[in-house]
Structure 1
Amino acid sequence: MSDLLLHAGHVAAVLAAVLLAAHLGRRAARAARQPEVVGEILAGILVVPAVLAVGGTTGLAGVLPAGVVGPLKVLGQIGLVLFLVGVAHELRHGRSGLGARAVGWVTAGSFVPALLAGLAMAAWVLLAAGPDVRGSAPAPALVLMVAVALSVTAVPVLARILEDRRMVDSPTGKLAMAAAVVTDSAAWLLLVVAVGISGGVLVSLILLAVGVAVTVVGRILLRGKAPTAIAERFPKATGVGVAVLALLAAFQFEHWGLTAVFGAFVVGLAVPGGPWAGVVRPIMRTGRLLVPVFFVVAGMGVANAPRAAVPWAAILIALVLAVAGKIGGGYLGARLGGQDRRTALTVGVLLNTRGLTEIVVLQAGYSAGLLSVQLFLALVVMALVTTAMTGPLLSLIERRARRNAAVPRQLVPDLPGGTP
């Protein structure tokens, strides 16, 4: 009994340390005028390498023994699943209030060029990169995985940036969010296909059909008067029930060969809007609290991987293609959709935000064996850098707009009689 209590105490202590590291990471990010998620991801991923650097393998084994790592992995998965239920719900019920032409062009610009950039990166990995970067994944799965990785926009991080900059209700903010929602929905579906290819295409298609059926039937049942009344009257108890269903679905789909992400999305998409939003929000907040544990587990996987040289070429290629695909594609799409240059550039910069969503996608691909540790590291760096770029680039656009607005007044000569 004492050993059990000691073990539970060890897990609780590590969990508290992880949450404290995440808190400090968020504060550091705010001080650096960066999205909080950048500091949180860095803090989580660097916990294990920091312990390893200070105490070596012996110190790491003492802080994170096998008996503690197992519960941490479960907690990280639980946090991820609960958080993604909220993400899926927001994707399903987000509304832009904008014209279909503008949203359509920006969405196409955000997705298609980024997807092509991902295909170009995958071609480099297959044809020119070394075996350490290539890994051993089937070529079709690898190509699709890399294409998805460069196509993602982090909807939760984007929403936070828009809120911090008071752009939520602006036409530019709405346009970027609408395009991001559609793009991410397609990217998540392609991720499931990529993971499923390695386990068998036919099985994956069957499971996708099962997921769609569960989503449709679930929405029909939950929109009934009785379930809606229960959700309004007992939101906490209903939230617990939805969370349990999401966890069961996630781990079941993972057991069948797909990623747990798919199960979380099935439940999140099945939950209706309206009063059900009050049920989903606490689920998402709880998951958000535990997501840093997921980052620590990801960092442990990287730290335990075979040592290799830093993949500078992969990092540089990923950054160039990612920025070109999102900022360039978003700008082009917005211009074709009738937006002015400043709006188009702002939309492109916003859509270049990857953050947490990208890390989740990459971890899913890494866990499924689709990404080598070197390619995983290169894409993680790309995700962090592109997210960190968003704030400074937006500030630069704003400064240029203010400067350009002031120039005409300074250049107009005074007319005779003192009349400007």
Structure 2
Amino acid sequence: MDVLDLLLRTTHAVAALAVVLLFAAAGRSAARRLRQPEVIGEITVGLLAGPAVIALFGTAFLDAVLPGPVFDILTLFGQAGLVLFLVGLAHKLRIGPDRPPHRTMGWVVAGSLVPPLLTGLLLTGWVSLTGGAAVRGTAPLPAFVLMVAVAMSITAVPVMSRILADRGMGESPAGRLALASAIAIDAVGWLLLTVAISLGAGDLTGSLHSARALLFGAVCALAVRYGLRTRAARGICVRLPRTTAVALGASALGVALVMEHLGMTAILGAALVGLAVPGDERAPWAGAVSTVSRVGRALAPAFFVVTGITVLTRAFAAASWSLIAVAVVLGCAGKVLGGYAGARLGGLPRSTACRIGVLVNTRGLTELIVLQAGLSAGVLSAPLVLALVVMALVTTAMTGPLLNALDRRDERRARRRTERLTVRLPGRIPQHRSDRDKLPVETEGGTR
């Protein structure tokens, strides 16, 4: 009877996953028509699916369609997809000669982390002065301040990586640097998150658990790295690529889930495994990593739906428009201006710095996970969570249009430069395509 019940639940969960993937396809189609990255459509449809069902048919209907055990299985599908997808994206940071310079990356991380933390302090001050007890909540002040600061500083690695992949920016200098910086920022953010939750509970043992989880992840990553460098591992990968992909995916899932059980995010575990895979382009790992990433990308929409059901259905509460507006303005100012300033201090040209500032402003799913943790721990109130959810959605949706605007600006500058050169050299107007290609054009890495 237990086996039959498990089989029925799994079949139910697979059917629910199929419906989720259909909705995700519809979201991607709508995003393409609106000239948005496809991942924005997936996120929007996924997040709103649960609240829409509740609004139309009621909570009882959603509980009947997705009972607790089935919802748990769907949650595992979504989390597995997120982990597997991040393995491939983190691995790309190690491939090729254009790895982010440590000095530049340090400035970008500082610029994308410190100013947003300060905007979190400003937002807590606004809430304390104008929000009232319902928005402020009852959490201790240190925990509340730190939690809001973390929520303002997070950058969504999964969503940013999908945007980079959709736009073909995964191999660009700005894309690589923004993604690497986002991973470092989120690692710091998750440590601060555990401290905030511990302060809210009056117990700092959670911080020790996080340090233990990081140590476990680092040891596992080193084991994966040195194990894959052996001649036997290379031979197995060449002869049995699918088996290698399954083993790599299982290793990533195991490390991620154990790290989450120990108090750290599964996202960081997936990133550690992806970074541990040797980055030698001559090594045979590219096929296995690509297979793992494709499977993860196919399952990731389930994570959006689960997040929408677990976060938005609890966060809908009265929040003033002024609070939402202040959260959005401070969120954009801290990330865009801070990321731009950090990139410029790191020696990057204005064009690349602008793109990095826009990319690190992407919050998306990671922000929703942080808000869910703060709400569950009682550190954040429902109205404040709603305002920060709107901020996360707005900043994520802004990424594509702002990148498009930057592309158009660079094209206009290139045309004006060409026109000025033509006016200055009227007797040497390039007549052939090969001559026109020699004209200076401002690109993401500078002028060529």
Specify if TM > 0.5. yes
Deviation track 1:230-274 (CA, whole Å, cap 9, x = no partner) reads 233322212212222333333333333333334434433433333
Deviation track 1:169-194 (CA, whole Å, cap 9, x = no partner) reads 6xxx4135314412422322431442
Question: 1:135 Cα shift?
Answer: 4.7
Q: What residue is the counterpart of 1:293 in the other structure?
A: 302
Q: Measure, in 1, the Cα distance between the counterparts of 2:145 and 2:193.
A: 8
CA contact (8 A) 1:85 1:265 kept: yes
TM superposition score normalised by structure 2: 0.77
Q: What residue is the counterpart of 2:445 in the other structure?
A: none
Deviation track 1:199-253 (CA, whole Å, cap 9, x = no partner) reads 5223332332333233233322332222233233322212212222333333333
What amino acid maps onto 1:110 in structure 2?
A: S
Q: Measure, in 2, the Cα distance between the counterparts of 1:376 and 1:95.
A: 42
Structure 1: runs of 5+ lacking an equivalent: none
TM superposition score normalised by structure 1: 0.82
Q: What residue is the counterpart of 1:73 in the other structure?
A: 75
SS in 2 for 1:317: helix
Question: 1:308 Cα shift?
Answer: 1.8
Q: What residue is the counterpart of 2:261 in the other structure?
A: 255
Which of 292, 300, 310 in structure 2 is aligned with 1:283? 292
Q: What residue is the counterpart of 2:334 in the other structure?
A: 325
CA contact (8 A) 1:331 1:348 kept: yes
CA contact (8 A) 2:105 2:181 kept: no
**248-257 or 42-51: which moved more?**
248-257
Deviation track 1:109-143 (CA, whole Å, cap 9, x = no partner) reads 33332333234334545665444444566655554
Q: Measure, in 2, the Cα distance between the counterparts of 1:240 and 1:6.
A: 25
Question: 1:382 Cα shift?
Answer: 1.9
Percent identical: 52
CA contact (8 A) 2:245 2:292 kept: yes
Q: What residue is the counterpart of 2:183 in the other structure?
A: 184
Q: Do structure 1's residue 11 and structure 2's residue 13 form an aligned pair?
A: yes
Q: What residue is the counterpart of 1:378 in the other structure?
A: 387
Q: Measure, in 2, the Cα distance between the counterparts of 1:6 and 1:34.
A: 38
Q: Measure, in 1, the Cα distance between the counterparts of 2:108 and 2:189.
A: 20
Deviation track 1:386-405 (CA, whole Å, cap 9, x = no partner) reads 22222322333444455556
SS in 1 for 2:256: helix
Q: Measure, in 2, the Cα distance between the counterparts of 1:295 and 1:204.
A: 25
Change (3 A) 1:128 1:277: farther
CA contact (8 A) 1:107 1:180 kept: no
Question: 1:75 Cα shift?
Answer: 1.9
Question: 1:311 Cα shift?
Answer: 4.9
Q: Measure, in 1, the Cα distance between the counterparts of 2:161 and 2:257.
A: 28
Change (3 A) 1:253 1:126: farther
Q: Do structure 1's residue 309 and structure 2's residue 311 form an aligned pair?
A: no
Question: 1:303 Cα shift?
Answer: 5.2
**140-149 or 320-329: which moved more?**
140-149
Q: Measure, in 2, the Cα distance between the counterparts of 1:94 and 1:356.
A: 28
Q: Do structure 1's residue 267 and structure 2's residue 269 form an aligned pair?
A: no
Q: What residue is the counterpart of 2:45 in the other structure?
A: 43
Structure 2: runs of 5+ lacking an equivalent: 199-204, 430-448
Change (3 A) 1:144 1:177: farther
Question: 1:285 Cα shift?
Answer: 2.0
Question: 1:42 Cα shift?
Answer: 1.0
Question: 1:89 Cα shift?
Answer: 3.1
Question: 1:29 Cα shift?
Answer: 0.8
**322-331 or 244-253: which moved more?**
244-253
Change (3 A) 1:268 1:400: closer
Q: What residue is the counterpart of 2:442 in the other structure?
A: none
Change (3 A) 1:353 1:258: closer
Change (3 A) 1:404 1:361: same
Change (3 A) 1:47 1:280: same
